[in-house]
Each structure stands twice: as structure tokens, then as C-alpha cells.
């Protein structure tokens, strides 16, 4: 019990780093107020929370909750990002980024689980789109496939100007090609949000840093997290690609898929980088369709219909054991899922979020999941590595991918010496399902399967 502390950090700008440690054995337990209510009241009253499991070193996992706009972030906001925000009318007067108000942040994992736990309608915009994508391709200057199996770049179109027909065709293209890129984009965070809203309910994260006043536009900015103590370095940036349980992921260098723990998981996801290093900071994606097709037909048959447990990236407290360490949201989804736009089967596995296969022993599950993760990560022919490249002043670059059929990760080779900042909007999709009648990508396209 006393091995854990809850460390609170004051919000006072005059003492930004002052911390108060609350030990389990320091709480008054002589009254009738339940322990969870006491802990919650302290957290809500403090404004910032960081929970550490002591003595775990590299294994340490953290709950970090801060609140409101952050003046400390504004100090290091890259010029390109600042200009984009100011030109878009974003209020930076109180700070940047904005963390949801402490009164809105779930403290306990059951509260976090309840967020968006109800079914809500999802209309797959890619499903009835023109398979030839005449409106989209007809307006583009160039359409370039970056690799054979994954990744396409569209040249000569502004995302902010797309018609609904073009958005539908783009959704289908993303679902087919897994990730689609647009360079030299003039895109406000408001327009990015509007585009995400078109494709599905935009995820509004209960903890993550947002653009001030624009819930749903998540800030992707490792320099800021590092300033807040993430401790990302050249040496440790990839540890979690070996063991994500032992080494909690820092930043986004570990292979993952976004928001797998949601009831209706992430679909079309749009990352727009407005500040890009001159060299480095690439992002990699891998195709879940192709990962599935890499498997033997016997392995495919074994995995079809299986389910697995997926966890959230962020942690919360257990109401019944608030000093017992961080807890993550868990949900069960199909291990092989059918994409509603293409109808193709995809391997829904990733190193950091997919934790165990239902029905197998822990040993069997670990061995099989480890192999499946390797299939994704070690087959370079099913991956694309994208170099963002700085755009002309006032412009940025967008990547839009289908989280249902992919994994991704970034690289930390620029080591924070040059700024890398962007905004992400995620459209949540359907409740994941497996259609036993659905085909693999290569089956559907009539490509050889080697057996
Ligand atoms: Fe991600």
C-alpha cells in the first residue's frame, strides 16, 4: 500500500514545478468518507496530477493530468505553428496547448470507460464512393503510389476545398491504400476538424493536449511532452518496440494504432504537420491487409473469429484500489476485422495496445501475438516510410490513414533539435466486426497467395 504515491503538481505559474506527494498511509481514514471520494476530491482540488508507481524505474507508467491552457507550451511553440494558429483565430492569450479542464477529466478507469460507451450511428462514407474516384483523381495534378502495397500521394489538391463527392472518394482511397498524403496544404485546425466531422464522430480525448477552444483537434508535439518530463532521448526512444509492457512508450515511436480501446475505434485519422524538421521525424505505416495476407492459410483460419483485449494509451486510477497503480481502459475487439469500405480482412494487432487473445493461455497468446506483431513490423514490403519535408511558409503536410487497417510509428532522429508539431483529428468508425464471408485483399484483387 505505501509503495505508491500520488504526486500532485501545483498549477501556480509562479511555482510551476512544485509538487506535493500524497501517500496512501497519509490519508485520514477515521471518517466515513470513502477512499475513492477522498482521492478524487484531492485531485479535482489540485488541478494537476501525476501518479507514479515508485521503484519501477523504466517500467514506470504514469497518469498525468494537467488542466487548461499551458503558458509553458507557448514559450516553445514553433513559429510556423504559432502563425497557423493566429491566422486561424485561435486564442493563444492564456497558453498553448490546452488540456481539458480538471473537472472534466476522468479520474477513475470506470469513468473513462463510460466515455462513448454507447453505440452511435456510423455511416461509412467510402462504401458507396465511385471506385474509379473520377472526381478526386480528375481534379488532382498527380496521383503517386509510394509503394506497391501501401501509401499514395495526391498532388495539386487542397483538402480544405474538397467537395463531398471527393471526400467520399478519398475515404475509399484511404481505406484501400491505407494512408494518403497531401503536401503543401493551407489548412486551419477548424477546417481539419470539419473534414474529420464529415467522416465520423470526432474523438474528443478526455486527457490529451488540444488546440485551445477546439476540442477534437489533438496536439501532436513531443517537444512539449519532453518539456513536461517525458524523458525521450536518442537511446531510449525505441525501447518499447522491444517490450511495451516493460518500457512504457515515450512519444509515438512504438508501433501502434490509435484509440483501439474505444467502443467504436478510430477510423480515418488525419495528422497535419505545420512544423517539420529539415531532416528527420519521418512516420512509418504498415498495412493490416497485407500483414493478414502474409500469414499461412492455416494461420488465417485459426485467427479468423478470434477476439483480443485492447488497452488505452492513457492510464487512470482504480476506484477500488486508488494507490494500486495506473489502470488502462480495456475493450475486446475482433483480432481479424473486416473493413466496411473495402470489405477486406485486416489483422487488427499492434505492439502497444493489443494485449492478449481471448481463449488462449497467456503463454500461447504471448507467443502468437509476438509473431503477429513481428509480421507487421519486419515485412518492409508492407510498409511505407514518409518524409514530411518542410512546406513553403504558411503551408503544412497532411497524412490521412485508416487506423482500422494499419499500424504506425514515428522516428525521433531529429532529437528535438528542430521543431516537429502538428494537429490530429480522428474520426471514430464502426464497432469492429468480423464478417466470415469477407475476403483478404489479395483474394479480392485476384493476386496470388503462394499456396
Ligand atoms: Fe498514433
In the reported structure, the alpha carbon of residue 255 is separated from the centroid of ligand 1 by a whole-number distance in angstroms of 8
What's the mean pLDDT when you consider all of the chain? 88
In the reported structure, the alpha carbon of residue 229 is separated from the centroid of ligand 1 by a whole-number distance in angstroms of 20
In the reported structure, the alpha carbon of residue 258 is separated from the centroid of ligand 1 by a whole-number distance in angstroms of 5
C-alpha distances in Å from residue 379, one per residue of 288, 343, 384: 11, 23, 11
The two most distant CA atoms of the chain are separated, in Å, by 73
What pLDDT is attached to residue 107? 83
In the reported structure, the alpha carbon of residue 282 is separated from the centroid of ligand 1 by a whole-number distance in angstroms of 13
172 preceded by cis ω (within 30°)?
no
Structural contact between residues 74 and 93, judged by C-beta atoms closer than 8 angstroms = no
Structural element, H or E, at residue 185: strand 179-185
In the reported structure, the alpha carbon of residue 31 is separated from the centroid of ligand 1 by a whole-number distance in angstroms of 45
Closest CA to 264 of 18, 386, 61, 432: 432
Structural contact between residues 411 and 268, judged by C-beta atoms closer than 8 angstroms = no
The pTM assigned to this predicted structure is: 0.91
Residue 272 CA to residue 270 CA, distance in Å, equals 6
C-alpha distances in Å from residue 119, one per residue of 104, 114, 116, 253, 436: 21, 12, 8, 32, 22
What pLDDT is attached to residue 156? 97
In the reported structure, the alpha carbon of residue 2 is separated from the centroid of ligand 1 by a whole-number distance in angstroms of 35
Return per-residue pLDDT of the chain as tens, 451 residues.
Answer: 334 455 544 333 333 333 445 666 666 667 778 888 877 777 776 655 554 433 333 334 445 555 789 998 999 999 999 999 999 999 999 999 998 877 777 888 999 899 899 999 999 999 999 999 999 999 999 999 999 999 999 999 999 999 999 999 999 999 999 999 999 999 999 999 999 999 999 999 887 899 999 999 999 999 998 888 888 899 999 998 998 888 878 888 999 999 999 999 999 999 999 999 999 999 999 999 999 999 999 999 999 999 999 999 888 888 888 877 788 899 999 999 999 999 999 999 999 999 999 999 999 999 999 999 999 999 999 999 999 998 889 999 999 999 999 999 999 999 989 999 999 999 999 999 999 999 999 999 999 987 6
C-alpha distances in Å from residue 319, one per residue of 36, 110, 111: 5, 8, 9
In the reported structure, the alpha carbon of residue 444 is separated from the centroid of ligand 1 by a whole-number distance in angstroms of 28
Residue 182 CA to residue 156 CA, distance in Å, equals 8
Q: Which grid coordinates belong to 167?
A: 471526400
To the nearest 5 percent, what fractions of the chain are helix, strand and coil? 25, 25, 45
Please give the backbone phi and psi of residue 28, each rounded to the nearest 5 degrees, phi first.
-75, 120
Structural contact between residues 347 and 372, judged by C-beta atoms closer than 8 angstroms = yes
In the reported structure, the alpha carbon of residue 429 is separated from the centroid of ligand 1 by a whole-number distance in angstroms of 16
What pLDDT is attached to residue 406? 98
CATH number of 108-445: 3.60.130.10
Beta strands 179-185 and 152-155 are parallel
Structural contact between residues 36 and 24, judged by C-beta atoms closer than 8 angstroms = no
In the reported structure, the alpha carbon of residue 233 is separated from the centroid of ligand 1 by a whole-number distance in angstroms of 19
In the reported structure, the alpha carbon of residue 261 is separated from the centroid of ligand 1 by a whole-number distance in angstroms of 13
Per-domain residue ranges of the chain: 108-445
Residue 442 CA to residue 102 CA, distance in Å, equals 48
Q: What number of other Cβ atoms are within 10 A of residue 269's Cβ?
A: 28
Torsion 66-69-73-75 (CA) sign: negative
In the reported structure, the alpha carbon of residue 319 is separated from the centroid of ligand 1 by a whole-number distance in angstroms of 28
In the reported structure, the alpha carbon of residue 64 is separated from the centroid of ligand 1 by a whole-number distance in angstroms of 18
Residue 67 CA to residue 47 CA, distance in Å, equals 6
Please give the backbone phi and psi of residue 22, each rounded to the nearest 5 degrees, phi first.
-110, 115
3-state secondary structure labels for all residues of 391-420: CCCCCEEEEEEEHHHEEEEECCCCCCCCCC
Amino acid at each position: 500500500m505505501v509503495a505508491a504515491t500520488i504526486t500532485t503538481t501545483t498549477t501556480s505559474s509562479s511555482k510551476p514545478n512544485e509538487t506535493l506527494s500524497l501517500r496512501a498511509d497519509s490519508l485520514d481514514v477515521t471518517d466515513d468518507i470513502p477512499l475513492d471520494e477522498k482521492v478524487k476530491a484531492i485531485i479535482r482540488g489540485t488541478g494537476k496530477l501525476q501518479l507514479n508507481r515508485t521503484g519501477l524505474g523504466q517500467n514506470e507508467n504514469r497518469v498525468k493530468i494537467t488542466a487548461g491552457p499551458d503558458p509553458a507550451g507557448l514559450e516553445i511553440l514553433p513559429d510556423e505553428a504559432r502563425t497557423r494558429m493566429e491566422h486561424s483565430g485561435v486564442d493563444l492569450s492564456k497558453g498553448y496547448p490546452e488540456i481539458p479542464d480538471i473537472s472534466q477529466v476522468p479520474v477513475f478507469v470506470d469513468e473513462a470507460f463510460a466515455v462513448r460507451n454507447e453505440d452511435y450511428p456510423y455511416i461509412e462514407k467510402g462504401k458507396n464512393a465511385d471506385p474509379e474516384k473520377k472526381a478526386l483523381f480528375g481534379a488532382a495534378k498527380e496521383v503517386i503510389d509510394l509503394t506497391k502495397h501501401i501509401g499514395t500521394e495526391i498532388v495539386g489538391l487542397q483538402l480544405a476545398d474538397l467537395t463531398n463527392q471527393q471526400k467520399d472518394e478519398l475515404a475509399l482511397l484511404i481505406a484501400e491504400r491505407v494512408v494518403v498524403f497531401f503536401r503543401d496544404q493551407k489548412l486551419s485546425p477548424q477546417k481539419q476538424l470539419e473534414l474529420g466531422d464529415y467522416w465520423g464522430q470526432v474523438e474528443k480525448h478526455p486527457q490529451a493536449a488540444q488546440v485551445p477552444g477546439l476540442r477534437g483537434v489533438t496536439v501532436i508535439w513531443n517537444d512539449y511532452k519532453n518539456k513536461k518530463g517525458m524523458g525521450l532521448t536518442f537511446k531510449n526512444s525505441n525501447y518499447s518496440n522491444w517490450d511495451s509492457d516493460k518500457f512504457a512508450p515515450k512519444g509515438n515511436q512504438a508501433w501502434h494504432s490509435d484509440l483501439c480501446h474505444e467502443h467504436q475505434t478510430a477510423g480515418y485519422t488525419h495528422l497535419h504537420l505545420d512544423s517539420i524538421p529539415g531532416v528527420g521525424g519521418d512516420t512509418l505505416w504498415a498495412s493490416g491487409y497485407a500483414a493478414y495476407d502474409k500469414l499461412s492459410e492455416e494461420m488465417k483460419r485459426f485467427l479468423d473469429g478470434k477476439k483480443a483485449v485492447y488497452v488505452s494509451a492513457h492510464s487512470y486510477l482504480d476506484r477500488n484500489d486508488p494507490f494500486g497503480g495506473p489502470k488502462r481502459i480495456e475493450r475486446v475487439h475482433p483480432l481479424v476485422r473486416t473493413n466496411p469500405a473495402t470489405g477486406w480482412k485486416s489483422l487488427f494487432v499492434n505492439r502497444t495496445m493489443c494485449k492478449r487473445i481471448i481463449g488462449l493461455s497467456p503463454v500461447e497468446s504471448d507467443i502468437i501475438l509476438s509473431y503477429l506483431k513481428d509480421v507487421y513490423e519486419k515485412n518492409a514490403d508492407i510498409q511505407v516510410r514518409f518524409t514530411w519535408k518542410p512546406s513553403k511558409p504558411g503551408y503544412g503536410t497532411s497524412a490521412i490513414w485508416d487506423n482500422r487497417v494499419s499500424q504506425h510509428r514515428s522516428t525521433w532522429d531529429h532529437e528535438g533539435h528542430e521543431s516537429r508539431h502538428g494537429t490530429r483529428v480522428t474520426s471514430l468508425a464502426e464497432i469492429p466486426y468480423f464478417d466470415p464471408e469477407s475476403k483478404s485483399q489479395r483474394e479480392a484483387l485476384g493476386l496470388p497467395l503462394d499456396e
